[in-house]
Chains A and B, each alone.
Chain A
Amino acid sequence: MFPFLTVLIVLPAVAAIVLRALPASARHASRPIALGSAIAELALAVVMAVRFVPSAAGDHQFAQVHSWIPQIGASWAVGVDGMGLLLILLAVLLTPLVILAGWKDDDDADRQMKYLGLILALESFMVLIFAARDVFLFYVAFEAMLIPLYFLIGLFGGEQRRYAAVKFLVFSLVGGLVMLAGVIALYGAGPGGSQGFLTDNLKGLSMSTTTERLIFVAFFFAFAIKAPMVPLHTWLPTVAQTARPGTTTLLVAVLDKVGTFGMISLCLPLFPNASRWAAPVIISFAVASVIYGAVLAIGQKDMLRLVAYTSVSHFGVMVLGIFAFRQTALEGSAFYMLNHGLSTGALFLVVGFLIKRRGSAQIADFGGLQRVVPVLAGTFLIIGLSALALPGLSPFVSEIMVLVGAYPAARAAVIVAIVGVVLAALYILLAYQKIFTGPVRKGLEKTPDLSLREKLVTGPLIVAMVVLGFVPGVALTVLRDPAAAAITTTVPANTAAEVSQ
């Protein structure tokens, strides 16, 4: 069996090292090298996806277990179920697009090499974290990916980049440290031994109610920071406003999914009782995020902050779907993780194109662009409509699955969350109105429309959303079993039957 996952993890890391090792005279080649390796990575991931057996999507396929640090029970254990597979595909699809989108961001070859090296290093960690089947390995990836991100924000951001980088680091480290305590306690509660951190060995442990709840909270806290839940979300707007749109794309579209991914693949299966215990509170915070994030998005003056807050709102929908413990809702949440990545990733990138043209992210600095750059306007509108979950585009399918699917379990929460549908229309359309309609703003008359390179960046994402909007089955077939697995461990069969009555 070809070790797909290990190679997918190692390949971008090697490419990053190659970039660092390039002699100064060859540094102008860093862009093609980075793009080439990212495309190779994508191709390999597609081959893996084709080999993936959908009928066994609940199992972790392409699994490998090697002893890593047996003294502490850590293993190099990787494998993906349907959900992990889709998130890896998302990560390796977005990476080359981000590289392409930032093709002209740096004039300086040295800076360019450093930026691309960090992006590739990040890609390596992104694949690792969705493939990790060992809690310690997961934790290491969780912390290690902060390093490239810290530098991506701190070295390549705009004004206040140091503040943003440190804020990001502090939030993440606090979450990480709390989780570390949970990781250690979990090991203590587990069977121990040289494979004591394998996720599969940590399921179904008998723990006291208090222990289980405490460890659950430790994990959930870290994940709630990642999947920016109110009131732990404030790092995101700061980072989004400051970092390059490409960095933010990977951060929000992919890395924040570690939060929701962790909730589904760790919190639910490892701490089923505590998950049920905490669900009502978590759902309340999730719904608060939906509304609060949307209201804040409406009030933003900066496009990047606006998109960041829309994500706070969307993550609220995902968390709601997870903690309703219903098949349709959780399947919808897992699907939403993919769709939000496509939609928000595209939105950050297209906003980046706008900023590049104007030199400003302030909405008030734009106006009337639709008549000047119709293709850019249309692209922005389609992507914006996906963010407000317009039917025909894939985010709709996932959002409706969460709202409709969670309703039997969490009626009041869903009714409140539905208000988000109106708020989403407000934050997207008001922004569109201010940026693209009305009389053309002075100084914008000569703005160039989307270039071929920019179309190549947004095109695949839009196509993916349209295809998944009409035939979501492609993705849903591999998400059904993972969702079912998460639910059956969390909600015992008799309870599940009761709920469905």
Chain B
Amino acid sequence: MLHLSWLIIAVPLASAAVILLAGRAARKWGHWLAVAASATTVIVGIGAFVQMLGLDRGDRAFHETLFRWIPGGELSVDAGILVDPLSMSFVLLVSVVGTLIHVYSVAYMEHDPRRSTFFAYLNLFIAAMFLLVLADSYLLLFVGWEGVGLASYLLIGFWNQKSEFATAANKAFIVNRIGDMGLILAMALMFAHLGSVDFAHAFAAAPGASTGVLTAIGLALLLAACGKSAQFPLQSWLGDAMAGPTPVSALIHAATMVTAGVYLVVRSGPIFAGAPNALLAVAAVGAITLVMGAIIGMAKDDIKKALAASTMSQIGYMMLAAGLGPVGYAFAIFHLLTHGFFKAGMFLGAGSVMHGMDDQVNMRRFGGLATLMKFTWVTFGLGWLAILGVPPFSGFWSKDKIIEAAFIGDGWKPWVFGLTAMLGAGLTAYYMSRLFFMTFYGGKRWTDDQHPHESPLMMTVPMMILAAGSAVLGLVLARGNAFTAWLEPVTGTVAHGEPVLAVPLIMTLTLILVALGVAAAYFQYVSRPVPITEPRASVLTLAARRDLFQDTVNGALVQWPGEVLTRIAVYADAAAIDGAVNKTASGTAGLGEVVRKLQTGKVRSYAATMLVGVVILLAIVVKGGR
């Protein structure tokens, strides 16, 4: 089925177009068409996967040119797809998680009059996401890259009759565009120095390019990755993006789109191979974001925003791993897959809680839901164990490998990155346990009119499947290093380095930190009653509640100067440039005089004067020409 891989992009795209063009007519069947389209991608994806498994390891890269996109010239780009183990991993993740979330949404969005539009956008999203990961060139990848950005914009703003939701959608798109500048610049650099923007040629030319060039390309790609993956310093949009319906948060802003930055870095391995400083920057960004996200996550009371902070932090782990170079690439993608399952599962769980609590998101108003929403509780619990990194659940296998890998190397780096990653595990345990306990345990803190109830099967079954993945996926993929071996054709064979600390010691210390985190959350949120209002808190907590002042900083550094500049420019354009031109245009009299002449009929004399001038000039020409 490899040769049918293009259908993975085309089917959901066509379905989205049909639903949108059908308009109101699609209200009855639009969601089912979208589910069918998404399910088709699973079938084709699995078919292609099975076929790929039958191939020799070295042959597992299926490349097909679909059509000539930008012809000829120096910049010749074909629209082609590349199905290799890396893109196949994404195809399976996006199609499976995507389809589960489609099904979930049928029930979740049941009462929304624009449900079919919602499903068209979901289909548009998965089509763009598949294009992003299957593209065989940076330029075609960019089409998918912007496509997922558009879908994200449309879905964050799905309820944009609320002004702040519309603002959130804009913020996401615009911050992402700042990152996109990086991708455009990277393509310009590749075009100038590597002679091509398609993977095959650019990667082949990369070893011949100077370190300076490769570092510049690497940093430009990192900028793009920061925008899409909400990494420092372009992280500010993700929390606000929770304005979108919860299935969107699960699919786009947790499991798939936000991990595209990690994909970009890993895909660009051959470029980063010659740019160690760019890789170091990737790792640093990952480490900073992983701590930042964790700190913010510890203070948020809004369940979706807490999960969003967690996503930021977990992607920080992936970036950190990717920044370690080939030794970390496979672990970055491994964690990306397990995270895709457990985080999507927990978001759907959060959606289920909101569904049962009249869209309440404040965890201080939850509590004691374990008995009333059993499916949600158990499935969420499996996700919680997975993200904590408790063996044998998924996160243990992937995150522990990242922590180990971060300890590999010379000098200060393994200590800084390794200890940060390890500390992050403890923080993660605290904020996720806080979230889990505040929601499902302790006293009931609901508002009077709430009657929590379990969600319908249409919602809980996808949650169960994701929970099963959260439980066992890591174990399955880690057995005999199956996943690392699977990705080897892309990431290359890696000489095995030894961590600066012994592996059992790292594992033990990490688990101790995790246990401490859980315990701290237990004493604070289960043993003691949870106040309904935010308690007075330390400066750090206050800062974390305000996302470490990211909006204040952006406002002061970018937004405010931008607005002032715009006002000055608008004023100057009218007063200075237009004024000056007006004056010089008609000499001392000024344009007003001309207007008056026009109105008094004197324009004829004006035009006549001009005509005479033209005739005289022509006469000179005629004479001179002879």
A296-B573, A328-B75, A433-B167 given as contacts; is B161 within 8 A of A425 (CB)?
Answer: no
Determine if B620 and A437 form an interchain contact, defined as CB atoms under 8 angstroms apart: no
* Residues of chain A contacted by B145 (CB below 8 angstroms): 391
Choose from B73, B170, B565, B610 the contact partner of A328 (Cβ within 8 Å).
B73
Within 8 A of B (CB), among A228-270: 230-232, 234, 238
**Cβ of A173 < 8 Å from any Cβ of B?**
yes
Task: For the complex, give the distance between the alpha carbons of A94 and B25 in Å.
Answer: 31
Determine if B161 and A439 form an interchain contact, defined as CB atoms under 8 angstroms apart: yes
Determine if B585 and A174 form an interchain contact, defined as CB atoms under 8 angstroms apart: yes
Determine if A477 and B570 form an interchain contact, defined as CB atoms under 8 angstroms apart: no
* Residues of chain A contacted by B75 (CB below 8 angstroms): 328, 401, 404-405
The interface bits of chain A over 355-372 (1 if a CB of B lies within 8 angstroms of the residue's CB, else 0) are 000000000000010110
Question: B272 → chain A, closest Cβ, in Å?
Answer: 21
Across the interface, name the chain A residue whose C-beta is closest to B113. A371
Task: For the complex, give the distance between the alpha carbons of A72 and B614 in Å.
Answer: 14
Binding stretch for chain A, among B179-187, B380-388, B401-409: B179-187
Choose from A295, A385, A425, A471 the contact partner of B67 (Cβ within 8 Å).
A471
Across the interface, name the chain A residue whose C-beta is closest to B117. A374
Choose from A166, A401, A422, A437 the contact partner of B178 (Cβ within 8 Å).
A422
The interface bits of chain B over 577-610 (1 if a CB of A lies within 8 angstroms of the residue's CB, else 0) are 1100110011000010011001100000000001
* Residues of chain A contacted by B160 (CB below 8 angstroms): 370, 433, 436-438
Task: For the complex, give the distance between the alpha carbons of A378 and B23 in Å.
Answer: 11
* Residues of chain B contacted by A331 (CB below 8 angstroms): 73
Binding stretch for chain B, among A59-67, A216-224, A341-349, A411-419: A411-419
* Residues of chain A contacted by B178 (CB below 8 angstroms): 422
**Cβ of A27 < 8 Å from any Cβ of B?**
no
The interface bits of chain A over 159-175 (1 if a CB of B lies within 8 angstroms of the residue's CB, else 0) are 00011001100110110
A72-B618, A188-B624, A231-B577 given as contacts; is B69 within 8 A of A470 (CB)?
Answer: yes
Question: B515 → chain A, closest Cβ, in Å?
Answer: 45
Binding stretch for chain A, among B100-108, B188-196, B457-465: B188-196
Q: Which of the four size classes fits the interface of chain A?
A: 35 or more
**Cβ of A444 < 8 Å from any Cβ of B?**
no
Task: For the complex, give the distance between the alpha carbons of A472 and B150 in Å.
Answer: 21
Determine if B69 and A400 form an interchain contact, defined as CB atoms under 8 angstroms apart: no
Choose from A72, A163, A477 the contact partner of B72 (Cβ within 8 Å).
A477
**Cβ of A476 < 8 Å from any Cβ of B?**
yes
The interface bits of chain B over 169-211 (1 if a CB of A lies within 8 angstroms of the residue's CB, else 0) are 0100110011011001101110110000100000000000000
The interface bits of chain B over 114-151 (1 if a CB of A lies within 8 angstroms of the residue's CB, else 0) are 00000000000000000000000001001101110010
**Cβ of B157 < 8 Å from any Cβ of A?**
yes
Determine if B625 and A299 form an interchain contact, defined as CB atoms under 8 angstroms apart: no
**Cβ of A32 < 8 Å from any Cβ of B?**
no
Task: For the complex, give the distance between the alpha carbons of A405 and B161 in Å.
Answer: 41
Determine if A426 and B174 form an interchain contact, defined as CB atoms under 8 angstroms apart: yes
Determine if A437 and B173 form an interchain contact, defined as CB atoms under 8 angstroms apart: no
Within 8 A of B (CB), among A370-428: 370-371, 374-375, 378, 385, 390-392, 397, 400-401, 403-405, 407-408, 411, 414-415, 418-419, 421-422, 425-426
Question: A182 → chain B, closest Cβ, in Å?
Answer: 11
The interface bits of chain B over 606-626 (1 if a CB of A lies within 8 angstroms of the residue's CB, else 0) are 000010011001101110111
**Cβ of B505 < 8 Å from any Cβ of A?**
no
Choose from B150, B173, B181, B191 the contact partner of A404 (Cβ within 8 Å).
B191
Determine if B181 and A422 form an interchain contact, defined as CB atoms under 8 angstroms apart: yes
Interface of B is mostly: helix
* Residues of chain B contacted by A470 (CB below 8 angstroms): 69, 79
A390-B146, A407-B188, A473-B71 given as contacts; is B591 within 8 A of A419 (CB)?
Answer: no
* Residues of chain A contacted by B165 (CB below 8 angstroms): 437
A73-B625, A408-B192, A477-B71 given as contacts; is B150 within 8 A of A390 (CB)?
Answer: yes
The interface bits of chain B over 303-334 (1 if a CB of A lies within 8 angstroms of the residue's CB, else 0) are 00000000000000000000000000000000
* Residues of chain A contacted by B573 (CB below 8 angstroms): 234, 292, 296
Within 8 A of B (CB), among A444-501: 470-473, 476-477, 480, 500
Question: A119 → chain B, closest Cβ, in Å?
Answer: 23
Task: For the complex, give the distance between the alpha carbons of A296 and B568 in Å.
Answer: 9
**Cβ of A339 < 8 Å from any Cβ of B?**
no
Across the interface, name the chain A residue whose C-beta is closest to B141. A391
A390-B150, A407-B192 given as contacts; is B566 within 8 A of A429 (CB)?
Answer: no
* Residues of chain A contacted by B163 (CB below 8 angstroms): 437-439
Determine if B617 and A180 form an interchain contact, defined as CB atoms under 8 angstroms apart: yes
Determine if B566 and A299 form an interchain contact, defined as CB atoms under 8 angstroms apart: yes
Determine if A327 and B73 form an interchain contact, defined as CB atoms under 8 angstroms apart: yes
**Cβ of A71 < 8 Å from any Cβ of B?**
yes
* Residues of chain B contacted by A425 (CB below 8 angstroms): 173-174, 177
Task: For the complex, give the distance between the alpha carbons of A194 and B167 in Å.
Answer: 65
**Cβ of A192 < 8 Å from any Cβ of B?**
yes
Determine if B69 and A480 form an interchain contact, defined as CB atoms under 8 angstroms apart: no
Determine if A473 and B69 form an interchain contact, defined as CB atoms under 8 angstroms apart: yes
* Residues of chain A contacted by B72 (CB below 8 angstroms): 476-477, 480
Task: For the complex, give the distance between the alpha carbons of A426 and B175 in Å.
Answer: 10
Question: B255 → chain A, closest Cβ, in Å?
Answer: 23
Determine if B617 and A181 form an interchain contact, defined as CB atoms under 8 angstroms apart: yes
* Residues of chain A contacted by B191 (CB below 8 angstroms): 328, 404-405, 407-408
Determine if A391 and B188 form an interchain contact, defined as CB atoms under 8 angstroms apart: no
**Cβ of A300 < 8 Å from any Cβ of B?**
yes
Task: For the complex, give the distance between the alpha carbons of A210 and B552 in Å.
Answer: 55
Task: For the complex, give the distance between the alpha carbons of A401 and B191 in Å.
Answer: 11
Determine if B570 and A170 form an interchain contact, defined as CB atoms under 8 angstroms apart: no
Most chain B CB within 10 A, of A292, A328, A415, is at A328
Question: B595 → chain A, closest Cβ, in Å?
Answer: 5
* Residues of chain A contacted by B188 (CB below 8 angstroms): 403-404, 407, 414, 418
Determine if B73 and A170 form an interchain contact, defined as CB atoms under 8 angstroms apart: no
Other 16 A-B pairs with CB < 8 A, given A296-B570, A425-B173: A72-B622, A162-B595, A170-B585, A170-B586, A180-B614, A188-B625, A296-B566, A299-B567, A300-B570, A326-B74, A328-B74, A422-B181, A425-B174, A471-B69, A473-B70, A473-B71
Minimum-distance CB pairs A-B, first 4: A437-B166, A407-B188, A299-B570, A234-B578
A-B residue pairs in contact (CB < 8 Å), sample of 26: A72-B618, A173-B610, A177-B610, A184-B620, A192-B626, A234-B577, A295-B565, A296-B570, A299-B569, A328-B191, A368-B161, A370-B161, A391-B147, A392-B147, A404-B187, A407-B188, A408-B191, A419-B181, A421-B184, A422-B177, A425-B174, A433-B166, A433-B167, A437-B166, A438-B161, A480-B72
